[in-house]
Amino acid sequence: MGAGTYGRAMSVEIVGFDPRYSDAFARLNYQWIEHYFAVEPEDRRALDHPFEYAIAPGGEIFFALLRGQVVGCVAMLPKSADRAADGDVELAKMAVHPENQGQGIGRVLLERCIRYAREQRLKRIVLTTNDMLKPALKIYHNAGFVDLPANPDTRYARGNLAMQLILGSG
């Protein structure tokens, strides 16, 4: 398996943002949000305009490809214009196609995000989630994320839990 390729019997390739995959980013995320919650204005802003949401401000969107098809995605968003000074990045909009859940794709995407944050010499990854999303919580906790006592992010009504992973000084 080459660099960026993961998996057991299956071969999942993790790639960075490509405008060709913008529709998949929206589709995968709308799917899980609509299944569990209601789509909110912040969701539409992010999913309908992924380049402006993540890439233009200096972030990244990773895609998991299986046999050339997008089966998962996740965004990494700078928390401030001066990432180096702030040291924080937000992990957001992680989604795996329902037919591919339970195959370790979310874990591989998360590992790539952690590596990205280290490559950028960032200090902390933060995220907002919901405590009913048990499979996602398990992936985050297994990677070393810890729950914060309060969620400072008020952009989403569904966001009842904030987590962080401290990476160190870079």
Check which CATH number belongs to the domain holding 68 and give it.
Answer: 3.40.630.30
CA geometry: angle at 140 spanning 113 and 112, to 5°?
Answer: 15
Q: Whole domain around residue 109: which residue ranges?
A: 5-121
36 falls within a domain = yes
pLDDT recorded at residue 11: 87
Q: What is the pLDDT of residues 57-113, one digit of tens each?
A: 999 999 999 999 999 999 999 986 555 557 899 999 999 999 999 999 999 999 999
Q: What is the pLDDT of residues 141-162, one digit of tens each?
A: 999 999 999 988 888 999 999 9
Round to whole Å and give the CA distance between 44 and 120. 28
Among residues of the chain, what percentage have pLDDT more than 70? 89
The model's confidence at residue 3, banded by pLDDT at 50, 70 and 90, is: very low
Could you give the number of structural domains in the chain?
1
108 falls within a domain = yes
51 falls within a domain = yes
62 falls within a domain = yes
127 falls within a domain = no
154 falls within a domain = no
